[in-house]
Structure 1
Amino acid sequence: MPVSALIARRVPILRVVTMLATWVALFLVLTYVFVQRERFDPYLSRIASALNLSDQQVVGKEVRITMSPDGHFWAKATLGGVSRRLLIDSGATVTALSTRTASAAGLKVAKPIFPMVIQTANGQVSAQTATIVELRLGNVVARDLPVVVSPAFGGTDVLGMNFLSRLKSWRVEGRTLILTPHHPQDLT
């Protein structure tokens, strides 16, 4: 019916189809840019949460994290009152923080009695130790979480198995990581 109306009015159908395709493509590109940018901009992050576009959500008693375009799961967590984006890595034995994050979170970094040398994907790294008093990730709360701190980590912070093993369960379904705590906390 709409097509016959356009033909009767002698509207060039090809021009209308091209215009519609252009608008759809423009909308998709803008949506992609918005989703990519919201990870770094707190204002866009609030808008994404309001529109339910966030890549991390609390659904019932679970935290669901969507796989990012780089193929990793990145969690938005708060430690020592500081919000950070952390890579969830089941291949990492322990949680590892950059010196910048440890400093911003006010962690007391201590040099261990015996040198701490850990094996990373980039080789052996010398590290110091600290303890996060409270780490919040959605409704998941980890208290007194031991971490290693090193300038060799650059700007990347990693949640390792010492965090994941504290959960009731964690699993990957398709492109979603699902974290289930033993005792879900209220969102603050």
Structure 2
Amino acid sequence: MLKSAIVLGSAVFCAVLVGTGILSLDDSSTHLESAQTLSVPTPSADIASTTTDTHVTAIPKASDGHFWANATVNSRAVRLLVDTGATVVALTPADAQRLGFGSSNLVYDREVSTANGKTMAAAINLTTVGIGQSTVHNVEAMVIKDGLTTSLLGMSYLGRLSRIEATRSSLILHP
């Protein structure tokens, strides 16, 4: 009887845990917001970012299994791969140039380790990075000289949100 109660209790706990999301990160400098109801749309395109209410932004999981964000960086559109393993927002030289960071102004004086090994990077500051309702000002970033095929949305942006939730079908950003 006791064994059945333990199994039942564990099943209820797991169901509640799955129902509230697989991952919820909280910025320790802010208090948790009250729970909000969110209906996450089925992704219709691999790179879509959709806003489902006035306070959160849902990024649907793409068919490749990744989360691709359509961001506005310094008033320009940039497609970023969400990467919680990246310490900062990491830009390709091509994206950096489109954002107004010319190669003659970049100083590649930082050695960084990437998935492709060590390379050099130039530290920059992004005035604004916005995805849906989640805009962050004064974001630390780096331009990666070699080996980066797509720009990355790293923790210098994500870590400044009040909360991030990952579900099976989307990543939910709370400003």
TM class by shorter chain equals 0.5 to 0.7
Instruction: Mark the CA change 1:133 to 1:100 in structure 2 (over 3 Å): closer, same or farther.
Output: same
Q: Does 1:149 align with 2:146?
A: no
Q: Does 1:111 align with 2:104?
A: no
In structure 2, stretches of 5+ residues that fail to align are 1-42
Instruction: Mark the CA change 1:90 to 1:154 in structure 2 (over 3 Å): closer, same or farther.
Output: closer
Q: Does 1:96 align with 2:90?
A: yes
Partner of 1:134: 128
Contact 1:65-1:73 within 8 A present in 2 as well: yes
- Distance in 2 separating the partners of 1:66 and 1:149: 26
Moved more, 148-157 or 96-105: 148-157
Give the match's secondary structure for 1:103: helix
Give CA-to-partner distance per residue, 1:44-75, whole Å, 9 cap, x none: xxxxxxxxxxx321122111011111111000
Letter in 2 for 1:173: T
Matches within 5 A, 1:8-157: 35=45, 39=47, 55-60=48-53, 61-107=55-101, 109-111=105-107, 115-157=109-151
Partner of 1:161: 155
User: How many angstroms does 1:153 deviate by?
Assistant: 4.2
More helix by share: 1
User: How many angstroms does 1:116 deviate by?
Assistant: 0.6
User: How many angstroms does 1:150 deviate by?
Assistant: 2.1
Contact 2:57-2:172 within 8 A present in 1 as well: yes
- Distance in 2 separating the partners of 1:176 and 1:65: 5
Instruction: Mark the CA change 1:105 to 1:152 in structure 2 (over 3 Å): closer, same or farther.
Output: same
Moved more, 149-158 or 65-74: 149-158
User: How many angstroms does 1:154 deviate by?
Assistant: 4.1
Moved more, 75-84 or 103-112: 103-112
Work out which structure has the larger RCO, using CA pairs closer than 8 Å and 6 or more positions apart in sequence: 2
Moved >6 Å (runs of 4+): none
Tell me the TM-score normalised to structure 1 length: 0.63
Contact 2:126-2:139 within 8 A present in 1 as well: yes
